[in-house]
Amino acid sequence: MPQSPFVAPIAQHIWDTKYRFRDDSRVLDRSIEDTWRRVSHALAASEGPRIAEWEQRFYGALEGFRFLPGGRILAGAGTAKQVTLFNCFVMGPLADSLDGIFDGLKEGALTLQQGGGVGYDFSTLRPRGTRARRTGALASGPVSFMRIWDSMCATLLATGSRRGAMMATLRCDHPDIEEFIRAKQDRRELRNFNLSVQVTDAFVRAVDGNADWALVFPLDHPDGSAPSSGNGETLLQDWPGFAQPVRCEVLRRVPARALWRQMVQATYDTAEPGVLFIDRINQWNNLWYRESISATNPCGEVPLPAYGACDLGAINLTSFVRNPFTPQAHLDLEGIARLVPVGVRLLDNVIDISGYPLPKQQEQALGSRRVGLGVTGLGDALLMLGLGYHTEAARDLAARALRAICHSAYRASIALAREKGPFPFLDRPRYLQGRFVCGLPDDIRQDIERFGIRNSHLISIAPTGTISLLANNISSGIEPVFDFRFSRQVRGTDGCDQRFDLVDYALLCWHRHAGEDAPQPPWFVGAQRLSPEAHLRMQAALQPFVDNAISKTVNLPETIPTLEIASLYLTAYRLGLKGCTLFRPNSTTGSVLTTESSAPPSHCCNSEREGE
């Protein structure tokens, strides 16, 4: 009798409720091996005469949870259901008119209905109290319309095992930024949204210099709106919806540090909003020459242009730890590098076989062929290697692994371009001028110049919450182990939560190695015992090898002073990160996971929904 790949009971539950293929009452995936065969067969369908070869190679990658495709791929590939295989999308710009707003709402509803999360930039909507030129009506502001999206999402996904997933962003110089920052102080508000402020370099300089900060809106908006309560002062400003800097009216000024303190206090109270360092995101975008990005997918690991999509998969690092807990313990970097081309090809094929809720999403995906290859299980892998997450040795090894994955992925994508053609949006001379591409090894850059590249972007670090549970409760993404024994709420197909008592994967491996009564080694330190700086420094160590972005939660102690939160955001900026999410548990936010209780999580994209 073959041994079951499921070690943790929660893993089998996750497979049974989220990824096992059923047609009404008929069970079609009788085992996880059937799921792997279904997915492998579907993803090999675009390989022409080499279908059998690649079906077997994809199956070999999936077997034993070595490679974990995004949950929409696992759930939807090969089912013939009208679903998308992409986890999430950034939607098109919201036109500042009633027609435009509700067109955007409809697009979001159609996308959510097919299983994709959505991200929106609400900066294009007129601030509260300004007057529309054509109708004379007073605007109610972006936050009021966000509530409509929130109700729509809650209605669509009120039943079933999946939670809604939406991201809302707003520029730090939009006149309604203070209302946006405070929007989730009432825990009943916007429960299906994550919120992030687009923080510009200029705003950080204003905070550093204790300067006043202008809150502005375009003077002549394409849809006929215009601010009407300013003092006539204008600035030339970049703004979503405009290809070039646009003349904006200054509606008021606030002390930059006062606005900063409001953001910090909101993070202290509700763990939101997060911050996106939006200028850095655009400066480091491989497609800088054709895109202006102002939003991300709901968890923040993929900054995307209008109608862009997340195509995600993760290498399970625990599968590549050799001789764990011994002096010979090491990470098999060569084995990882051999798996990378299979993962890249698998994700590239997703683009061709997936359904798309909207034609514009298909056009964008086929044009850029963005993929997001990442890792999961880093925290457990480090422990199995005898390394504390907070140590320099751990950061050095993690960086070496990401460097190997990044460079192998780019080489694999070049090989795919030689075989199948480069992505259509490629402008080779300008692509090679991109900041990230300029940092790649010379041989990769030379081969891009000669042969092109199949995918505009290749690396992304997603949270992988649910698929990490599927892989026997390994640590999520690049997060440290949350705790070594804890309970967790998981939603089932009936919409009800079921509680599981869990033991961390690395601890299970330790007990197998040293015996059930062996005490935990001293380097087994959980997330809540690590300093916030340790979280940020791990993220910073990996960012140079990630062309998309990194979703990472910095766990804060409940007693942290608000001034320290302000310092952490600035530290994240100065370390070169593209964004930062801080989480302080309290009576408003609850906690995502818990050892004793099951308080509700704060984020709609908590670790039960992320990475599905």
The set of catalytic residues is 297, 299, 301
The per-residue DSSP string of 260-308 comes to HHHHHHHHHHHS--EEEEHHHHHHT-TTTTT----EE-TTSS-EE-TT-
CA-to-CA dists, residue 540 to 302, 395, 469, 479, 533, angstroms: 16, 9, 26, 13, 10
Residue whose structure tokens are 């024994």: 485
Can you tell me whether residue 484 is helix, strand or coil?
Answer: coil
User: How far apart are the C-alpha atoms of 508 and 539, rounded to whole Å?
Assistant: 26
Q: Are 489 and 403 in contact (CB under 8 A)?
A: no
Please give the distance of CA 304 from its chain centroid, rounded to a whole number: 11
Helix residue ranges per DSSP H, 479-520: 505-514
Can you tell me whether residue 309 is helix, strand or coil?
Answer: strand
Q: Are 491 and 404 in contact (CB under 8 A)?
A: no
**Apex 310 CA angle, 119 and 354, nearest 5:** 115
> How would you list the strands of the sheet with 312-316, edge to edge?
67-69, 312-316, 372-376
Residues listed for the chain: 612
Which of 197, 161, 192, 166 lies closest to 75, judged by CA?
A: 161
Cβ-based neighbours of 81, under 8 Å, separated by 6 or more: none
Which of 269, 276, 147 lies closest to 203, judged by CA?
A: 276
- Amino acid of residue 521: P
User: How far apart are the C-alpha atoms of 426 and 448, rounded to whole Å?
Assistant: 10
Alpha-carbon radius of gyration of the chain: 23
User: How far apart are the C-alpha atoms of 120 and 98, rounded to whole Å?
Assistant: 16
Helix residue ranges per DSSP H, 471-531: 505-514
